[in-house]
Chain A
Amino acid sequence: MKKALATLLIASMALGLVACGGTETKQQGGNDTPSTEQGVANKGTEEEVTITYCNFNASGGNEETLNAMYEKFHEEYPNIVVEIETVAYNDYFTAMQTRVSGGTAPDCYELNIENFAAYASKGVLADLSNADTSNFNETALSAFNVDGTQYGLPGNFSNVVLIYNKDLFDQAGVDYPTNDWTWNDVQIAAEKISALGEDIYGIYAPLTYNEFFKVAAQYGGSLLNEDKTAFTINSPENIRAAQMMIDRVLVSNVQPTTEQMGGMGDWDLFQSGRLGMIPTGIWAFNTFTTGCDFEWDIVVEPGGTTKATHFFSNALVVNADSDKKEAAITWITWLASSPEAAQMRIDAGWDLPAIKDEAVLNTYLTVTPPENKAAVFESLDSLVVPPVIEDYAMMSDIITMKLSEAASGKISAEEALNQAQEECEAAITLK
Chain B
Amino acid sequence: MSKQKKKSGKNKLLQALPFMIPSFIGMIVFSFFPVVISIFLSLTDWNGLEKLTVNTIFEHFVGLENYIKILSGSEFWRVLGHTLYYIVLYIPLVFVASMGIALLLNKKKKGTMVFRVMYYIPVLTSWVAASLIWKWVLSPKYGIFNQILAILGISGPGWLTSEVWAMPGIVLASVWKDMGFFGLFLLSGLQAIDPTYYEAARVDGANKFVTFFKVTLPLVTPSIFFCLIMALINAFQLFPQVQIMTEGGPNGATQVMVERIYTYGFSYFKMGYASAYSWLLFVIIFVLTMIQMRLQNGWVHYES
| A–B contact, 8 Å CB criterion (strictly below) | yes
* A263 engages B267 (CB within 8 Å): no
* B266 engages A263 (CB within 8 Å): no
CB distance from B193 to the nearest CB of A (A): 41
* B139 engages A262 (CB within 8 Å): yes
* A122 engages B37 (CB within 8 Å): no
Cross-chain contact of A259 among B54, B138, B161 (Cβ < 8 A): B161
Q: A15-B57, A102-B52 are in contact. Are A93 and B139 (CB under 8 A)?
A: no
Q: A262-B143, A264-B142 are in contact. Are A122 and B49 (CB under 8 A)?
A: yes
Q: A19-B55, A258-B161 are in contact. Are A11 and B49 (CB under 8 A)?
A: no
8 Å CB contacts to B: which residues of A381-402? 391, 393-394, 397, 401
* A259 engages B49 (CB within 8 Å): no
- Pick out which of these stretches binds chain B: A138-146, A172-180, A228-236, A403-411: A403-411
Interface string of B264-304 (1 = CB under 8 A from A): 00111101000000000000000000000000000000000
- Pick out which of these stretches binds chain A: B105-113, B183-191, B202-210, B246-254: B246-254
* B161 engages A22 (CB within 8 Å): no
Name the A residues within 8 Å of B57 (CB-CB): 15
Name the A residues within 8 Å of B37 (CB-CB): 11, 14-15, 18
In the complex, which residue of chain B has the Cβ closest to the Cβ of A91? B266
Asked whether A131 is an interface residue with its Cβ less than 8 Å from the other chain, the reply is no
Name the A residues within 8 Å of B40 (CB-CB): 11, 15
How far does the alpha carbon of A405 sit from the alpha carbon of B51 in the complex, in Å? 38
Cross-chain contact of B33 among A14, A259, A401, A408 (Cβ < 8 A): A14
In the complex, which residue of chain B has the Cβ closest to the Cβ of A395? B268
8 Å CB contacts to A: which residues of B46-97? 47-55, 57
Asked whether A287 is an interface residue with its Cβ less than 8 Å from the other chain, the reply is no
How far does the alpha carbon of A14 sit from the alpha carbon of B57 in the complex, in Å? 13
Asked whether A16 is an interface residue with its Cβ less than 8 Å from the other chain, the reply is yes
* A18 engages B143 (CB within 8 Å): no
Asked whether B232 is an interface residue with its Cβ less than 8 Å from the other chain, the reply is no
Name the B residues within 8 Å of A16 (CB-CB): 54
Interface string of B226-243 (1 = CB under 8 A from A): 000000000000000000
How far does the alpha carbon of A295 sit from the alpha carbon of B54 in the complex, in Å? 62
Asked whether A361 is an interface residue with its Cβ less than 8 Å from the other chain, the reply is no
* B54 engages A263 (CB within 8 Å): no
* B36 engages A119 (CB within 8 Å): no
* B49 engages A101 (CB within 8 Å): yes
Q: A259-B162, A405-B251 are in contact. Are A22 and B54 (CB under 8 A)?
A: yes
* B143 engages A15 (CB within 8 Å): no
Asked whether A103 is an interface residue with its Cβ less than 8 Å from the other chain, the reply is yes
Asked whether A97 is an interface residue with its Cβ less than 8 Å from the other chain, the reply is yes
How far does the alpha carbon of A93 sit from the alpha carbon of B53 in the complex, in Å? 21
Size class of the B contact interface (CB-based, 8 Å): 35 or more
Asked whether A244 is an interface residue with its Cβ less than 8 Å from the other chain, the reply is no
* A393 engages B267 (CB within 8 Å): yes
* A93 engages B140 (CB within 8 Å): no
* A22 engages B139 (CB within 8 Å): no
* B140 engages A259 (CB within 8 Å): yes
Cross-chain contact of A119 among B49, B54, B266, B271 (Cβ < 8 A): B49
What's the tally of chain A residues with a CB closer than 8 Å to chain B?
A: 40
Asked whether B7 is an interface residue with its Cβ less than 8 Å from the other chain, the reply is no
Name the B residues within 8 Å of A405 (CB-CB): 251
CB distance from B143 to the nearest CB of A (A): 7
Q: A122-B47, A258-B161, A408-B250 are in contact. Are A263 and B55 (CB under 8 A)?
A: no
* A17 engages B33 (CB within 8 Å): yes
Name the B residues within 8 Å of A100 (CB-CB): 49, 51
Name the A residues within 8 Å of B39 (CB-CB): 11
How far does the alpha carbon of A116 sit from the alpha carbon of B73 in the complex, in Å? 29
* B49 engages A124 (CB within 8 Å): yes
Name the B residues within 8 Å of A119 (CB-CB): 49
Q: A18-B52, A101-B51, A118-B269 are in contact. Are A11 and B36 (CB under 8 A)?
A: yes
How far does the alpha carbon of A100 sit from the alpha carbon of B269 in the complex, in Å? 12
- Output the residue of A15, A16, A391, A394 with the most chain B CB within 10 A: A15
Asked whether A44 is an interface residue with its Cβ less than 8 Å from the other chain, the reply is no
* B52 engages A118 (CB within 8 Å): no
- Output the residue of B54, B139, B158 with the most chain A CB within 10 A: B54
In the complex, which residue of chain B has the Cβ closest to the Cβ of A104? B51
CB distance from B51 to the nearest CB of A (A): 5
* B36 engages A264 (CB within 8 Å): no
CB distance from A249 to the nearest CB of B (A): 13
* A394 engages B138 (CB within 8 Å): no
* B51 engages A103 (CB within 8 Å): yes
How far does the alpha carbon of A19 sit from the alpha carbon of B268 in the complex, in Å? 26
- Output the residue of A101, A103, A123, A258 with the most chain B CB within 10 A: A101
In the complex, which residue of chain B has the Cβ closest to the Cβ of A402? B251
* A263 engages B138 (CB within 8 Å): yes
How far does the alpha carbon of A410 sit from the alpha carbon of B250 in the complex, in Å? 12
Asked whether A130 is an interface residue with its Cβ less than 8 Å from the other chain, the reply is no
In the complex, which residue of chain B has the Cβ closest to the Cβ of A21? B53
* B36 engages A401 (CB within 8 Å): no
Asked whether B197 is an interface residue with its Cβ less than 8 Å from the other chain, the reply is no
Asked whether A260 is an interface residue with its Cβ less than 8 Å from the other chain, the reply is yes
Asked whether B141 is an interface residue with its Cβ less than 8 Å from the other chain, the reply is yes
Asked whether B257 is an interface residue with its Cβ less than 8 Å from the other chain, the reply is no
How far does the alpha carbon of A405 sit from the alpha carbon of B250 in the complex, in Å? 8
Can you sample 26 A-B contacts with CB below 8 Å? A11-B40, A14-B33, A14-B36, A15-B37, A16-B54, A18-B37, A18-B53, A18-B54, A19-B53, A22-B54, A97-B48, A100-B49, A101-B49, A103-B51, A118-B49, A123-B50, A124-B50, A259-B140, A259-B162, A262-B139, A262-B140, A263-B141, A263-B159, A321-B51, A393-B267, A401-B251
With A101-B271, A258-B250 already in contact, 18 other A-B pairs whose C-beta atoms are closer than 8 Å = A10-B28, A11-B40, A15-B54, A15-B57, A18-B37, A19-B54, A97-B269, A101-B51, A102-B52, A118-B269, A261-B161, A262-B141, A263-B141, A263-B161, A391-B268, A393-B268, A397-B263, A401-B252
Nearest first, the 9 closest Cβ-Cβ pairs linking A and B are A262-B141, A22-B53, A19-B54, A263-B139, A14-B33, A11-B36, A258-B161, A122-B49, A262-B139
